[in-house]
Every structure is written in structure tokens, then in C-alpha cells.
Amino acid sequence: MKRKVLFICTHNSARSQMAEGYVNARYSDRYEGFSAGTDVTKVHPLAIRVMNEIGIDISHQKSKELEEFFDYEIDTVVTVCDGANAVCPMFPGAKETIHVNFPDPSSATGTEDIQLEMFRRVRDDILSFIDQQFGKKDT
């Protein structure tokens, strides 16, 4: 049986969306990834773009309210920003909660190239965290 992992960030637009997409693409044999936000907007186009660069399509994903998952049996909740952790330091029924703070790539300013570099850096940090946290665990 797959373990359910919920990634939470403030807007559910970049960090948590990239994490959801990566878990489902890389570890779908053991995990089912979801994402939600405390103040949702929409999936950021640059998040979609940098995930496409590594062969993962998250264009079909939608921003979701945290409350949508209150009735799910979630094994692990991962808050990926300090804002989400402050609002949701624990999740109803979760067996494990992990907090890690990644910078918000949506806050990058400047040219599109500068913004893309920030999205890529955060993406790579998230992928590394997921590989270390979930890549070696047994179900």
C-alpha cells in the first residue's frame, strides 16, 4: 500500500506543486503525493516550465485548499515554507510531520532568466530533499 504524502506551502503554486509532481513521477511505486496551500492561488507557469525541463509535467495540477485533505489518511505532511508551518504546525491525523523551509521562487525579481534560475535552484533543492527523505525509506 502506498504511503500518502501531503506537501503544504502558502500559495500551493510552486514549492509544494514541484514536490507533489516529483514524488509522483519518481517514487510512485511507494508514495502518492499531494499538495495544498493555506492561501491558494494557481500553479506558477515557471514552476511548470522548470519541471518540464526535467521531464515532469505538472501542468495538469491545480492549487488546492488545505481543508480538502482533512478527511484523507495522510502518512506524512511536509511543510515546505515557514509560513505554512506557522499556520499549520500539525495536520489532523498525520502520522508524521516534517518541516523544511525552501525560499519562495515566486518572489524572485528581475529578468525571466533570473527568475528561472531561482525556480531551478529551489526545484533542485526540493528534489534533493525528497530523494534523501523518501528515496531510502521502506514502505
Q: Which of 5, 9, 23, 94 is catalytic?
A: 9
Q: Which of 18, 46, 48, 88 is catalytic?
A: 88
DSSP label at residue 8: E
Helix (H) / strand (E) containing 7 = strand 3-9
Q: Which of 23, 50, 66, 81 is catalytic?
A: 81
Q: Is 81 a catalytic residue?
A: yes
Order of strands, edge to edge, in the sheet holding 31-37? 31-37, 3-9, 76-79, 96-99
Q: Is 9 a catalytic residue?
A: yes
CA distance 25 to 74: 19
What are the catalytic residues? 9, 81, 88
